[in-house]
Amino acid sequence: MSKGTLFDKVWDLHKVGTLPSGQTQLFIGLHLIHEVTSPQAFAMLRERGLSVMFPERTVATVDHIVPTENQARPFADAMAEEMMQAIEQNTQTNGITFHDIGSGNQGVVHVIAPEQGLTQPGMTIACGDSHTSTHGAFGAIAFGIGTSQVRDVLASQTLALSKLKVRRVEVNGSLMPGVYAKDVVLHIIRKLGVTGGVGYAYEFAGSTFEQMSMEERMTVCNMAIEGGARCGYINPDQVTFDYLQGRDFAPQADEWEQAVAWWTSLRSDADAEYDGLVVFNAAEIAPTVTWGITPGQGIAVTETVPTPDSLTAEDRELAGEAYKYMDLAPGQPIQGTQIDVCFIGSCTNGRISDLREAAKVAKGRHVVAGIKAFVVPGSERVKQQAEAEGLDKIFEAAGFEWREAGCSMCLAMNPDKLQGRQISASSSNRNFKGRQGSSSGRTLLMSPAMVAAAAVTGKVTDVREML
Amino acid sequence: MSQVQSIVQSVSGRAVPLIGNDIDTDRIIPARFLRCVTFDGLGAQVFADDRSQLSGQHAFDQPQYQGAEILVVNRNFGCGSSREHAPQAIAKWGIKALVGESFAEIFLGNCLAMGIPCVTAASDALQTLQDWIAAHPAAAITLDLEAMQVRFGDSCIPVSMGEGARNMFLGGTWDACGQLVAQGAAIQQTAAKLPYVSWSR
A401-448 pLDDT, tens digit each? 999 999 999 999 999 999 999 999 999 999 999 999 999 999 999 999
Tens-digit pLDDT profile for residues A52-98 = 999 999 999 999 999 999 999 999 999 999 999 999 999 999 999 99
Distance CA B81, CA A138 (A): 22
Same domain, A149 and A253: no
> Which residues have C-beta within 8 Å of that of residue A196, sequence separation ≥ 6?
A189, A227, A228, A229
Same domain, A425 and A294: yes
Q: What is residue B201's predicted lDDT score, i.e. its pLDDT?
A: 72
What does residue A103 show for φ and ψ, rounded to 5 degrees? -75, -15
AA identity, residue B23: I
CA distance B76 to chain A (A): 7
Residue A201 DSSP label? E
Residue of A271, A233, A4, A58 whose CA lies nearest to A135: A233
Contact status of A432 with chain B (Cβ, < 8 Å) = yes
User: Does A1 fall in a domain?
Assistant: no
User: Does A128 fall in a domain?
Assistant: yes
**Domain at B8-174: CATH code:** 3.20.19.10
Distance CA A224, CA A230 (A): 7
Mean pLDDT value across residues A122-131: 98
* pLDDT of B4 higher than 70: no
Instruction: Tell me whether residues B39 and A22 touch, CB distance under 8 A.
Output: no
What does residue B72 show for φ and ψ, rounded to 5 degrees? -115, 115
Same domain, A188 and A114: no
Beta strand residue intervals within A234-378, DSSP E: 276-281, 288-290, 298-300, 341-344, 372-375
Contact status of A25 with chain B (Cβ, < 8 Å) = yes
* pLDDT of A201 higher than 50: yes
Task: Indicate the residue of B76, B193, B200 with minimum beta-carbon distance to A195.
Answer: B76
Distance CA A230, CA A370 (A): 39
Identify the residue among A156, A230, A231, A413 best suited for mutation to test binding to B, counting B beta carbons within 10 A and taking the highest. Answer: A156
Same domain, A113 and A172: no
Same domain, A444 and A304: yes
Write out the residue range of the structural domain in which residue A99 sits.
6-161
What does residue A49 show for φ and ψ, rounded to 5 degrees? 70, 30
Number of domains in chain A: 3
Same domain, A151 and A280: no
Same domain, A305 and A169: no
Same domain, A192 and A213: yes
Same domain, A407 and A427: yes
* pLDDT of B200 higher than 90: no
CA pseudo-torsion sign A348, A97, A244, A2:
negative
Identify the residue among A264, A432, A442 best suited for mutation to test binding to B, counting B beta carbons within 10 A and taking the highest. Answer: A432
**Final residue of a structural domain among A264, A284, A304:** A284
Tens-digit pLDDT profile for residues A71-82 = 999 999 999 999
Three-state DSSP class for A382?
A: helix
Q: Is A342 labelled a binding residue?
A: no
CATH number of A298's domain: 3.30.499.10
pLDDT > 90 in chain B, percent: 97
Is B14 within 8 Å of B94 (Cβ atoms)? no
**Final residue of a structural domain among A101, A130, A161:** A161
Q: Is A221 labelled a binding residue?
A: no
Tens-digit pLDDT profile for residues A241-270 = 999 999 999 999 999 999 999 999 999 999
User: What average pLDDT does the structure give for chain A?
Assistant: 97
Element (H, E) at A360: helix A352-362
Q: What is residue B3's predicted lDDT score, i.e. its pLDDT?
A: 54
Same domain, A50 and A149: yes
Domain ranges of chain B: 8-174
pLDDT > 70 in chain A, percent: 100
**Final residue of a structural domain among A161, A184, A211:** A161
Same domain, A205 and A276: yes
Same domain, A379 and A395: yes
